[in-house]
C-alpha cells in the first residue's frame, strides 16, 4: 500500500475537475458479471453485439494487464440544459476525449513525481462494467434506472476508470438510497425497464437514436417526440441532483452550438458538413445517416411547416434506407395532399424490402389522412 500515491492520484484528479474520485480493488465482479450474462442472454442488448464479447475481462478487471491491482474511478458531473433536444451529456465536449486526457494526465503527474506506475484508461469503449466499479469505489449507488448516482449530483455524471498496477487502499462502497422511489421507471416514455435495475435496450430511445443503424419500430418513432439525440427522462425524473453548480472548471464544458438544436438546423448542418459540426462531440456516435434519421423523426412528430415539408420530401431518395423509411413515415404524418403522390412514386422505385413495407404503410396513412380532402 502506498498512501502517498493514493492521495496524489486523488488530489490530482480533483484538481483536474472531476467531481468525485474513488479507489477500489480488482477482485472479480461475480454478481455484476452474472447480471451482465443474464442481461445478454435475454437479448436486452439488441444489436449491440460488441457487448456480448470479453465476458472474462468484464468479470475479472485484474486481467486488464499483468500486475493490475487497483482502479481509480472518477465522475465528471454535468446537468441538463432547459429546452434541450440533445441528451445533456452529448451537448458538451466529448466525454471520451476529456475524461481520457485527464486520467492520462493523472498518470503522468504520478510518474513525474517518481512513481513507476503502469495504467490503462477505460472510458465507455472498453469491456469494463464501469458502473459496478464506480459503485465499489464508493462513488455512489446503482439506481433503479441502472445509473450510478450520488446524493449531490444524482445520475448526472459520466464515468472514467484508470486501472493501475499499484495496491491502493480502497474506499468503502456507498449505501443505496432509492428506497421505495420509482420515478425513473414511471417516467420512461417507452416502458423500457422490464424490472427495477433492468433496462431492455430494445425499448430505449437512447439505444435507437444513438446506437442503432437503420429504421426503428414505429412506436419508438412516435415516442421520440421532438428529440434529436438520446433521451434523459430517467435522469430528469430522479429526485437526486442535478448539482446546483460544479465548482471549478467543468470537465464537460457546454457546447453552446448544440443547446436547443432544432431538427431543421440539424439537417442543415449535416448537409453543410457533419464532420465539421459534430465530430468533436459525442453526438457523432449516431453517424450522419443516424442523425438525419433522428431529425426527420422529430419533424414527423412536430408541427407542419413549409420548411419541414421541403426537408422531408428531399430525404425520400436519400442513400440510406433508414432515412428514407423515417422520411416517408414523417411525411405521411404531416404532409400535404400532393405528398400522397410523392410517396406512391417513392414506393414504385424503392428496392429495399424493409423500406418498401414502410412506404406501403406511409402511402396508406397519407391516403387516409387526405381521403376527406379528395372528396
What is d(CA 105, CA 118) in angstroms, rounded to the nearest whole number?
13
- Reply yes or no on whether 124 is catalytic: yes
- Does 146 interact with ligand B12 (rule: CB under 6 A)? yes
Q: What is the DSSP string of 36-49?
A: HHHHHHTTTTTT-G
Q: What residue ranges in 52-204 does DSSP mark as E strands? A: 70-77, 119-122, 141-142, 148-149, 157-164, 193-195, 198-199
- Does 16 interact with ligand SF4 (rule: CB under 6 A)? no
Q: Any idea what DSSP says for residue 207?
A: I
Segment interacting with ligand B12, rule: CB under 6 A, options 225-233, 243-251, 265-273, 299-307: 225-233
First to last CA, the chain: 83
# chain residues binding ligand B12, by CB under 6 A? 38
Task: Give residues 125-164 in contact with ligand SF4 (rule: CB under 6 A).
Answer: 143-145, 149
What is d(CA 285, CA 218) in angstroms, rounded to the nearest whole number?
22
Question: Per-residue x/- mask for ligand SF4, residues 189 to 208, rule CB under 6 A?
Answer: xx-x------x----xxx--
CB 233 → ligand B12: shortest distance, Å? Answer: 9
Partner that binds at residue 32, options ligand B12, ligand SF4, none, CB closer than 5 to 8 Å by kind: ligand B12
CB 130 → ligand B12: shortest distance, Å? Answer: 3
Task: Give residues 45-64 in contact with ligand B12 (rule: CB under 6 A).
Answer: 48, 51
Among 14, 25, 35, 345, binds ligand B12 (CB under 6 A): 35
Among 89, 156, 216, 240, binds ligand SF4 (CB under 6 A): 240
- Does 298 interact with ligand B12 (rule: CB under 6 A)? no
At 77 the three-state DSSP class reads: strand
Q: Is 162 exposed, middle or buried (0-12, 13-18, 19+ CB in 10 A)?
A: buried
Catalytic one of 2, 124, 165, 336: 124
Helix extents (H) in 189-320: 205-206, 218-223, 233-236, 263-278, 287-300, 306-315
Partner that binds at residue 269, options ligand B12, ligand SF4, none, CB closer than 5 to 8 Å by kind: none
Segment interacting with ligand SF4, rule: CB under 6 A, options 234-242, 260-268, 294-302, 311-319: 234-242
The smaller minimum CB distance to ligand SF4, of residues 12 and 206, is found at 206
Helix extents (H) in the chain: 3-15, 30-41, 55-59, 95-112, 130-136, 183-187, 205-206, 218-223, 233-236, 263-278, 287-300, 306-315, 321-334, 339-349, 353-374
Q: List interacting residues with ligand B12 (CB under 6 A).
A: 32, 35-36, 39, 48, 51, 87, 89, 123-124, 128-132, 142, 145-148, 155, 157-159, 197-199, 201, 204, 206-207, 210-211, 230-232, 234-235
Instruction: Give catalytic residues, as residue numbers.
Output: 124
Q: List interacting residues with ligand SF4 (CB under 6 A).
A: 143-145, 149, 178, 181-184, 188-190, 192, 199, 204-206, 231, 233-234, 237-240
Amino acid at each position: 500500500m502506498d498512501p502517498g500515491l493514493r492521495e496524489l492520484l486523488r488530489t490530482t484528479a480533483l484538481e483536474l475537475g472531476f467531481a468525485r474520485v474513488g479507489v477500489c480493488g480488482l477482485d472479480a465482479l461475480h454478481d455484476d458479471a452474472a447480471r451482465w450474462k443474464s442481461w445478454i442472454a435475454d437479448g436486452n442488448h439488441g444489436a449491440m453485439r460488441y457487448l456480448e464479447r470479453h465476458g472474462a475481462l468484464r468479470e475479472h478487471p485484474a486481467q486488464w494487464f499483468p500486475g493490475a491491482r487497483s482502479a481509480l474511478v472518477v465522475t465528471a458531473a454535468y446537468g441538463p440544459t432547459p429546452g434541450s433536444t440533445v441528451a445533456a451529456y452529448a451537448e458538451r465536449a466529448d466525454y471520451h476525449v476529456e475524461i481520457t486526457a485527464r486520467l492520462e494526465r493523472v498518470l503522468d503527474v504520478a510518474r513525474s513525481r517518481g512513481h513507476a506506475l503502469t495504467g490503462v484508461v477505460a472510458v465507455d469503449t472498453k469491456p469494463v462494467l464501469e458502473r459496478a466499479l464506480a459503485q465499489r469505489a464508493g462513488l455512489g449507488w446503482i439506481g433503479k434506472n441502472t445509473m450510478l448516482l450520488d446524493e449531490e449530483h444524482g445520475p448526472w455524471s459520466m464515468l472514467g476508470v484508470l486501472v493501475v498496477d499499484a495496491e491502493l487502499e480502497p474506499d468503502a462502497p456507498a449505501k443505496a438510497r432509492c428506497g421505495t422511489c420509482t420515478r425513473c421507471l414511471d417516467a420512461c416514455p417507452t416502458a423500457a425497464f422490464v424490472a427495477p435495475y433492468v433496462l431492455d435496450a430494445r425499448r430505449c430511445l437512447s439505444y435507437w437514436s444513438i446506437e442503432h443503424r437503420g429504421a426503428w419500430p414505429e412506436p419508438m418513432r412516435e415516442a421520440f417526440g421532438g428529440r434529436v439525440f438520446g433521451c434523459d427522462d430517467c435522469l430528469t425524473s430522479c429526485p437526486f441532483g442535478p448539482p446546483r453548480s460544479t465548482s471549478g472548471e467543468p470537465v464537460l464544458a457546454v457546447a453552446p452550438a448544440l443547446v436547443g438544436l432544432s431538427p431543421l438546423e440539424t439537417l442543415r448542418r449535416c448537409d453543410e458538413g457533419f464532420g465539421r459540426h459534430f465530430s468533436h462531440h459525442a453526438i457523432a456516435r449516431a453517424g450522419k445517416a443516424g442523425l438525419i434519421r433522428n431529425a426527420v423523426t422529430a419533424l414527423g412528430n412536430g408541427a407542419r411547416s413549409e420548411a419541414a415539408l421541403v426537408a422531408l420530401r428531399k430525404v425520400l431518395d436519400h442513400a440510406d434506407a433508414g432515412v428514407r423509411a423515417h422520411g416517408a413515415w414523417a411525411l405521411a404524418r404531416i404532409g400535404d395532399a400532393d405528398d400522397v403522390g410523392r410517396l406512391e412514386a417513392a414506393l414504385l422505385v424503392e428496392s429495399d424490402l424493409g423500406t418498401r413495407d414502410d412506404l406501403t404503410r406511409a402511402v396508406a396513412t397519407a391516403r387516409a389522412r387526405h381521403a376527406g380532402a379528395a372528396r
